[in-house]
């Protein structure tokens, strides 16, 4: 599992959640730009746990440590490597 | 401990582990959970009111021999595997408090008949299928939606931490198809019968929204919480629950300072919180939980030099839930003897189809007074709670509740305001008497709380008693993300969602994260 795998999966999920086309989703897009709401975040957490076996903490989104797709992918990768 | 002694001791504690601005139910629950998990923790709760609990409080009228409960009487999730039941057990509240389990969910009153709903989901489903046979397919679909999608929403905190695993396909379906429609739209897709739709939409009053306001997916979880997971009332009223939590906090070494308005949340040059300022002095901590309306907090509690541009922008999308107008009544004998036999009733208008139309017309006309009174007081569902049946110790008390808007109410302490309160009492009381004629001449005390009353005691935006409206637009609900002041966290119905269960669930999640921040 590497960054590219995680990024591809993220784009797929986000496209499904928000009806974006794949080429519209860029790594530096913020969650605000993606218009993710609280239920979308819960779904992301659930999907990532099932797909990658990682528990994304709500706090990293809340305090802004993770605020773009790129940052989320790196965070997931860190969690994977730490597991 | 008297006030001077307390103040002397408080000022000796230079640094509290956490300070709570507001001693509402979410603060109390969070502090009690923190105190239990972290012996020796130093917690300070400060509130301008003279009693703890926020809405979960009472007021007494000795001449009427009555104690009135300000809060919703229905604590959801009080059955086995209910979220609130589990937290009550953890805190020992199940042993400390006596709970009453009403036999009915509520009784529906229409012009020509009444229909009591049993207090279990299967019973309600069967009864409604029998009463509305032409709609039985839709009724079964609705309750299946409650059992699957409502259940997923109910366990959302557990879903986030990984202790509850939903079916992804169900979750995806619900988020794509049910999140973006209102209760009105969701029920219209399933049913034609207006009476049935009114009955099924009525629990929206527990969370401050009419069918045209609330998101359908969220609503399914409200029904699951209140009906499928059981509901109960605390004997001694909500104040008993609040006081029990307050005692646990103080027994563990925490302090609850009432009658003390927080004037400012203090922030250092690095945008880290450092404490609060009150007229009794400053109290210091690097963690401050804010249990007040976020609109009020940003407007009044922080130094105006702090840049809250982004937060204010998000808060524009965070709409308050409806406020309430409440008529508190007492009768000269037991309400049951006078025909109010159920602990809770919902009175529906004879003009069922017109209620939503009238509410929309009132809003389109800047909440014109006459249109608003017609819409909200006369034709919207009115909830009637027989508190005497739930707990006779409070006196012969009945409460009437409608969801309302502050926008057609004049300012307090004016003649038009007093006259309007009088009209509200007359109109709402008459609606009850129309269905229970034996009450005529037997009501010996009446008092009205308006949306302005709730602003006065809670500073909640527009007097909302339920925090934010959970509509189809959830964009404002993440207002607290990337909050510019480090160490500040929001705990209240504004972030947790309305209801005791949401308050305790959110408080539990916050308490679990202690030290993680």
Q: Please write the tens of the pLDDT for every residue from B45-55.
A: 999 999 999 99
Cα distances (Å, whole numbers) of residue B476 to A32, B164, B184, B295, B435: 11, 26, 22, 12, 41
CA pseudo-torsion sign B449, B454, B455, B458: positive
**What radius of gyration do chain B's Cα atoms show?**
22
ipTM of predicted assembly, 2 dp? 0.86
pLDDT in tens, B133-180: 999 999 999 999 999 999 999 999 899 888 999 999 999 999 999 999
Residues of B in contact with A49 (CB under 8 A): 162
pLDDT band of B192, cuts 50, 70, 90:
very high
- 3-class SS of residue B451: helix
Q: What are phi and psi of B231, to 5 degrees?
A: -140, 155
Cα of B204 to nearest chain A Cα, Å: 20
The percent of residues in chain B predicted with pLDDT above 90, rounded, is: 90
Of B165, B166, B513, the CB nearest to A59: B513
Between positions 20 and 79 of A, the ones with CB within 8 A of B are 35, 37-43, 45-47, 49-50, 55, 57-59, 61-64, 67
Question: What pLDDT, on the 0 to 100 scale, is given for residue B7?
Answer: 57
* Edge-first strand listing for the sheet containing B75-76: B75-76, B231-234, B99-100
Question: What pLDDT, on the 0 to 100 scale, is given for residue B2?
Answer: 58
Q: Mean of the per-residue pLDDT values for chain B?
A: 94
pLDDT in tens, B423-471: 999 999 999 999 999 999 999 999 999 999 999 999 999 999 899 999 9
> Are B517 and A59 a contacting pair at CB < 8 A?
yes
Give the integer Cα–Cα distance in Å for B385 and B344: 5
Q: What are phi and psi of B241, to 5 degrees?
A: -65, -50
Task: Go through the domains of chain A in sequence order and give each one's CATH number.
Answer: 3-82 (1.10.1200.10)
Does pLDDT of B12 surpass 90? no
> Are B481 and A57 a contacting pair at CB < 8 A?
no
Residues 6+ apart with CB under 8 A from B348: B108, B109, B110, B195, B198, B199, B202, B381
pLDDT band of B475, cuts 50, 70, 90:
confident
Residues of A in contact with B480 (CB under 8 A): 62
- For the ranges A72-76, B74-78, B253-257, B349-353, the lowest mean pLDDT is seen at B349-353
Cα distances (Å, whole numbers) of residue B27 to A4, B245, B253, B466, B516: 43, 10, 16, 15, 19
**Which residues are bridge partners to B53 per DSSP?**
B24
Give the integer Cα–Cα distance in Å for B267 and B444: 52
Residue B184 structure tokens: 């009105």
| SS3 letters across B302-323 | CCCCCCCHHHHHHHHCCCECCE
């Amino acid at each position: 599992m590497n960054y590219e795998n995680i990024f591809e999966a993220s784009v797929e999920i986000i496209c499904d959640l928000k009806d974006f086309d794949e080429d519209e989703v860029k790594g530096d897009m913020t969650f605000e730009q993606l218009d993710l709401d609280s239920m979308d975040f819960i779904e992301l957490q659930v999907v990532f746990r099932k797909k990658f076996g990682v528990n994304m903490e709500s706090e990293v989104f809340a305090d802004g440590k993770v605020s773009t797709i790129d940052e989320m992918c790196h965070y997931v990768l860190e969690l994977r490597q730490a597991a | 401990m008297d006030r001077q002694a307390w103040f002397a001791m408080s000022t000796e504690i230079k640094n509290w582990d956490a300070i709570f601005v507001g001693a509402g139910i979410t603060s109390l629950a969070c502090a009690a959970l923190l105190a239990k998990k972290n012996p020796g923790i130093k917690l300070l709760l400060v509130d301008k009111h003279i009693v703890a609990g926020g809405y979960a409080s009472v007021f007494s009228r000795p001449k009427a021999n009555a104690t009135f409960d300000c809060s919703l009487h229905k604590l959801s999730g009080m059955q086995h595997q209910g979220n609130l039941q589990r937290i009550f057990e953890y805190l020992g509240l199940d042993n400390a408090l006596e709970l009453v389990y009403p036999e009915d969910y509520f009784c529906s009153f229409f012009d020509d008949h009444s229909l009591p709903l049993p207090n279990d989901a299967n019973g309600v489903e069967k009864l409604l299928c029998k009463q509305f046979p032409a709609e039985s397919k839709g009724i079964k679909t609705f309750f299946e939606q409650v059992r699957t999608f409502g259940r997923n929403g109910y366990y959302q905190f557990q879903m986030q931490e990984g202790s509850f695993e939903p079916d992804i396909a169900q979750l995806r379906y619900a988020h794509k198809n049910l999140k973006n429609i209102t209760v009105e739209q969701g029920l219209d897709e399933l049913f034609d019968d207006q009476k049935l739709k009114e009955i099924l939409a009525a629990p929206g009053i527990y969370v401050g929204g009419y069918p045209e306001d609330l998101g359908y997916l969220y609503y399914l979880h409200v029904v699951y919480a209140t009906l499928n997971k059981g509901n109960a009332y605390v004997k001694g009223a909500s104040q008993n629950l609040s006081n029990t939590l307050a005692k646990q906090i103080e027994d563990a070494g925490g302090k609850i300072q009432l009658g003390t308005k927080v004037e400012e949340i203090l922030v250092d040059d690095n945008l880290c919180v450092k404490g609060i300022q009150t007229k009794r002095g400053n109290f210091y901590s690097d963690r401050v939980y804010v249990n007040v309306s976020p609109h009020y907090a940003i407007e009044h509690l922080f130094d105006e030099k702090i840049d809250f541009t982004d937060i204010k922008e998000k808060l524009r999308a965070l709409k308050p839930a409806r406020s309430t107008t409440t008529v508190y009544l007492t009768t000269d004998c037991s309400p049951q003897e006078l025909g109010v036999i159920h602990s809770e009733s919902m009175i529906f208008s004879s003009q069922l189809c017109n209620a939503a139309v009238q509410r929309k017309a009132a809003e389109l006309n800047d909440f014109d007074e006459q249109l608003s009174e017609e819409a909200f007081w006369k034709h919207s569902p009115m909830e009637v709670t027989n508190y005497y049946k739930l707990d006779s110790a409070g006196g012969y008390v009945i409460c009437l509740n409608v969801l309302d808007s502050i926008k057609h109410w004049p300012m307090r302490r004016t003649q038009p305001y007093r006259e309007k309160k009088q009209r509200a009492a007359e109109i709402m009381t008459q609606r009850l008497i129309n269905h229970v004629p034996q009450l005529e001449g037997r009501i010996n005390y009446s008092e009205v709380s308006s949306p302005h009353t709730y602003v006065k005691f809670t500073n909640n935006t527009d007097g909302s008693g339920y925090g934010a409206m959970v509509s189809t637009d959830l964009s404002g609900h993440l207002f607290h993300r990337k909050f510019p002041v480090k160490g500040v966290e929001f705990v209240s119905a504004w972030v947790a969602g309305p209801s005791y269960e949401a308050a305790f669930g959110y408080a539990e999640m916050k308490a679990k994260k202690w030290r993680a921040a």
